[in-house]
Structure formats: structure tokens, C-alpha cells
Amino acid sequence: MKTSIPKSRRPLPKSKQIGLRSKPEGKWAWDRLPFVGKDHGRQSFWDVPMLGGHFGGIDAGRAMALVYLKYVRDHRSDEIHNASGILSSILVAMDAKKPSTEDEAASLQGQRTGFMNEICSWIKAAAERLGSTLDAIPERSFVQQANEGLVRTDAAFMASIESKVKP
């Protein structure tokens, strides 16, 4: 059973579409992701219409997380692949969205929830299956590492790199 996508309260130019689409024509691999683009507004790494309410948003977010994970897997051998940079751009773009109605806000919250729940389930699976090396490291070591990073300045970090490069 095919359902139609409800019309947005925001008027879209006739050239803009309402749903998501596959984009095999994108120049860069990330341009081909269905949630990257400007089909629904300005260029964005989260160009997903704020439709479907909270629960529809969860389904959409979960599906787009799987698209992102498939992208990461498909492009794991690319030299310019930057999975963490793209994930960061997705989260920043989600945060930059400005819902104009309660329905849009509910949809966006659902999209965030679905996306992050799916990403977290994959992180959990990876930690359970691949994280045995973490078992031998006490938590205090990670806390110490974080605290060392918090007191270091960028200038001191660059100086330490330069001292190792230039004997």
C-alpha cells in the first residue's frame, strides 16, 4: 500500500520535491546521499523534509542512518573518505533546522531520535564484538587522557609536533 506524502505548510517552489530521492548523479560520494542536498531548502547535510510527525520522523531518521552506515561501508577504501566529518556535518545540519510548526518540530525530533538510535545500536554492536581491547584499560586512564587534552593549548600541541619533526 503506497501512501502519499502530505503537503508541507511551507510553500515549496515547483522545482523542489517533497520526499527524498536517490541521487546517482552527485559529483562526490556524499552528494549522492539522499539526505544531502538542497531539495528542501539551502544546501545541507540534513535535507530531510520535516513531515510525518514524531513516529514517521523516527522511521525516516532510522532509514537515513542505515543509508549513512551503508555509505561508510561502501566507501571504506576511499582515500578521501571522511565518515566522522560527514557524521559531524549531519548532526550540525540537524541542529540548524528551524521548524516553523509543532508538527515540523515533532518530525525533526523523531528524525534525530531514529537516526541516533540506529547509529547507537551499531556502536553498541561494534563495542560488544570488537571492544575486547577496552577491557584491559581502566576508566581512569581515559579520564586522565581527557584531562590532559583539556589543559593543553593548540600552541603547545603544535610546538610538540614541531619538536619531533625538527630534531
Handedness of CA 14, 16, 18, 24 (dihedral sign): positive
Q: In this structure, how many other beta carbons lie within 10 angstroms of the beta carbon of residue 27?
A: 7
- pLDDT recorded at residue 120: 97
Query: Do you know the residue count of the chain?
Result: 167
- Residue 47 to residue 33: CA distance in whole angstroms: 10
Return the minimum-mean-pLDDT range out of 14-18, 115-119, 129-133, 137-141. Answer: 14-18
Nearest to 90, CA basis, from 71, 65, 110: 65
Q: At 103, is the pLDDT very low, low, confident or very high (cuts 50, 70, 90)?
A: very high
- Residue 40 to residue 62: CA distance in whole angstroms: 19
Domain assignment of residue 158, given as a range = 137-167
Residue 164 falls within a domain, yes or no?
yes
54 and 68 housed in the same domain = yes
Residue 14 falls within a domain, yes or no?
no
pTM as predicted: 0.77
